[in-house]
């Protein structure tokens, strides 16, 4: 089976995914009877490529790493817009890895719609489309007879969506709680050890944990987008991040944190979704946990999610200090699930 891919976005996760693909090429051929080619790579500012054959992936990674751009790659370089590349490239599967737009999820939503219109399956690691337009996109995928997967949107490569889909048949998710933002988890941990928030943020920036402007993390927006994505998929919430009852950690002071520590408590930014009849209420707000709480030991850049179910009680998944390699694996695992579904027809 030949699988042709289009990569929309080619940053750290995109390059890590390509490295993973290359390292698993022999395994894919031997165990899955799959060979792959990349027909297109689109970036917003670093050049784009489209090919009727196969892009040289090792060369693309080398150029992106050494010069930061694909503009001088060669004949496959193109000035086509991202939408034009999606609509015209000969690909079976689009991997959408663009940057989150916290206000609307665009233009990633339009990119995915364009892929569906042209018969392409889609994997995204961008949480925006799932948080802002999950029902629209999943309905469109069904009508077009293509597959839509998004495991990498929450908790990197940790299986959450596929875990529920594949291993909890018949279970209803009636509540979700999670520590979903690694930056705030790290910052609060540093404050517990005596740093001010500004000092903790400087450490986070130095380690590459946060962006230059950490507002999206500190104000709770990132957690709001992630819990909305989870609630939309697992609880049919039909919500968006603008509807979340959101309070970040920006007002938490060193004194507030120390007061909690002196009471043997840890402050955490907790995202939750809870069903009340037909309504799902979604919140993001600081809370305190004690030693008996399962979130107590989730420190540093780790994440955790607790799923409350009607048949299996509470199930908690913890991810320890992820890297881009885990998100790359999520894309890879989604690709394997799509390949399996394509083989079954």
Q: Which residues carry out catalysis?
A: 226
Q: Is there a contact between 137 and 212 (Cβ–Cβ < 8 Å)?
A: no
Alpha-carbon distance of 60 to 17, in angstroms, equals 13
**Cα torsion at 320, 325, 328, 334 (round to 10°)?**
-50
200: tokens are: 């903790």
Q: How far apart are CA 157 and CA 104, in angstroms?
A: 24
Closest CA to 77 of 87, 64, 93: 64
Order across the sheet with 77-78: list the strands. 77-78, 48-50, 35-42, 2-8, 93-96, 121-124, 148-149
Give the closest residue to 146 by CA, choosing from 119, 124, 166, 165.
119
Inter-residue contact 241 to 209 (CB < 8 Å): no
- How far is the first Cα of the chain from the last one, in angstroms, to the nearest whole number? 13
Are 340 and 28 in contact by the 8 Å Cβ rule? The answer is no
Residues 6+ apart with CB under 8 A from 294: 304, 306, 316
């Amino acid at each position: 089976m030949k699988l042709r891919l289009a990569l929309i976005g080619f940053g750290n996760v995109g390059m890590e995914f390509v490295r993973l693909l290359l390292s698993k090429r022999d395994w894919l051929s031997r165990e899955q009877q799959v060979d792959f080619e990349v027909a297109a790579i689109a970036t917003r500012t670093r050049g784009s490529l489209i090919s009727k054959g196969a892009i040289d992936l090792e060369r693309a990674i080398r150029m992106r790493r050494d010069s930061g751009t694909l503009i001088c790659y060669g004949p496959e370089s193109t000035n086509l817009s991202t939408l034009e590349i999606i609509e015209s490239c000969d690909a079976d599967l689009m991997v959408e890895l663009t940057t989150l737009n916290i206000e609307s999820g665009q233009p990633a939503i339009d990119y995915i719609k364009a892929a569906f219109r042209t018969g392409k399956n889609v994997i995204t690691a961008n949480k925006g489309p799932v948080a802002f337009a999950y029902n629209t996109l999943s309905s469109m995928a069904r009508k077009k007879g293509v597959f839509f997967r998004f495991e990498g949107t929450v908790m990197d490569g940790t299986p959450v969506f596929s875990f529920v889909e594949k291993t909890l048949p018949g279970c209803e998710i009636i509540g979700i709680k999670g520590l979903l933002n690694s930056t705030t988890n790290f910052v609060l941990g540093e404050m517990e050890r005596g740093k001010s928030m500004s000092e903790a943020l400087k450490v986070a920036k130095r380690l590459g944990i946060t962006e230059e402007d950490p507002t999206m993390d500190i104000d709770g927006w990132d957690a709001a987008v992630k819990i909305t994505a989870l609630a939309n998929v697992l609880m049919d919430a039909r919500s968006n991040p603008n509807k979340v009852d959101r309070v970040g950690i920006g007002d938490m002071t060193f004194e507030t944190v120390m007061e909690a520590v002196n009471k043997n408590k840890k402050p955490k930014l907790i995202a939750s979704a809870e069903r009340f009849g037909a309504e799902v209420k979604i919140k993001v707000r600081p809370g305190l946990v004690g030693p008996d709480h399962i979130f107590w030991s989730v420190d540093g850049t780790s994440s955790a999610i607790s799923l409350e179910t009607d048949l299996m009680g509470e199930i908690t998944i913890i991810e320890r200090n992820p890297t881009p390699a885990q998100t790359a694996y999520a894309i890879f695992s989604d690709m394997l699930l799509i390949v399996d579904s394509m083989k079954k027809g």
